[in-house]
Amino acid sequence: QDIRRGASLSGDGRREGESMLPSFAEWIQETPGGGRCAWQCSAGFYEEGGGCRAWPTPAILVVDPMLRTDETAGSDPARFSVRLSAPPTEAVVLSLASNHLQLEAPSVSEVTFPPADWATPRKVTVAAVTDEITEGTHAGAVTLSTASEDQAYAALSPLSIDIAIAESFCPPFPATPTRRVVSCNRTLGGSCVVQCISGFTPGAA
């Protein structure tokens, strides 16, 4: 069996009496003297379109994102899915944490991508913290960090995902010398009851 590696070939990769070989392929002549030939992609490459392509650089991919929510109780949480960009040599554990001043804990705190199931996206949801602090539209963040015996994934820097949060409380409705506030529901869509001071009518300054 004659095995030659095509990674170092130049031009179209031809040798005398041979067909063109894909770059980065293992070329196998199975019988001496010009018998049947076959090739397969080397480690780190995959077959596509009759050639060998390098696997993408290891990374954490965020897919199907809906990165916004609001502070109203029961509102839809922000959501996204995560997966790996390339197959790992060992299992990759992805840990998720949030800024608890703005966001509740993510729906999952940890997901694992084994080599046999590295491309299946894992769904994550995260809700906003409901408070009575008037902040306007603001943001929280979910941080993703990796741990693995695969050094390429272990070396990845933490990934931060920003979540936009809509305010659920309106600014205080102020009293003035001409009116007083009887009651006020400061949640979005709520209403306030005001009463004119004696001697003033609605619409007065």
- Least confident span in 9-23, 112-126, 172-186: 9-23
Show contacts of 103-110: CB within 8 Å, 24+ apart.
Answer: 103/127, 103/128, 103/129, 103/140, 103/141, 103/142, 103/163, 103/165, 104/128, 104/129, 106/142, 107/77
In single-letter form, the type of residue at position 181 comes to V
Distance of CA 102 to the CA centre of its chain: 19
Give the whole-angstrom CA distance, residue 161 versus residue 102.
13
- Least confident span in 86-90, 91-95, 121-125, 169-173: 169-173
pLDDT in tens, 10-59: 333 333 334 444 455 555 555 566 555 666 777 777 777 777 777 788 99
Please report the pLDDT score of residue 106 as a whole number. 95
What six digits make up the tokens of 98? 């949030």
Strand 60-66's sheet: what is its strand order?
60-66, 78-84, 122-126
Compute the C-alpha angle 83/100/158, nearest 5°.
35
pLDDT in tens, 69-88: 887 777 889 999 999 999 89
| Residue found under tokens 């003033």 | 200
Most distant CA atoms of the chain, gap in Å: 113
**67 has pLDDT over 80:** yes
